[in-house]
Amino acid sequence: MPADTNAAGDIFGGWLMAQMDLAAGNAAARRARGRCATIAVNAMVFHQPVNVGDELSLYATIRAVGRTSMTIDVEAWRRRRHEDEMIKVTDATFTFVALDPNGRPRPVPAAGAGP
């Protein structure tokens, strides 16, 4: 939306980063089967601007799972309103930690483990 842009009409990088954090957080919570928190964002690179009216698609891939943490790669791709071509606009690596009900780190369940 226009309120999320700079004077040149490009979407603020912070808004885009927030959307990427939400995508990574969804992947982390699904894998950990519960609450997670962002503990780091690494290597964020902006390749192309995103303009008002662009369609934005986010893709999150879990790269690694440790005892209590997960490393998640996120890519953002844009499609201009009346075009078919998808262009990668940014990517970043997020690190999340699984949390227990008291907000303390907890083990990430084994892949395929039940609830």
43: CB partners within 8 A, 6+ apart: 91, 92, 93
For 23-68, the pLDDT digits (tens) are 999 999 999 999 999 999 998 889 999 988 899 999 999 999 999 9
For 80-115, the pLDDT digits (tens) are 989 999 999 999 999 999 999 999 999 999 886 665
Domains of the chain (ranges; CATH) run 2-98 (3.10.129.10)
Q: Sheet containing 55-65: give its strands across.
A: 36-46, 86-98, 69-79, 55-65
Instruction: Report pTM.
Output: 0.90
Segments in the chain forming alpha helices (H): 13-32
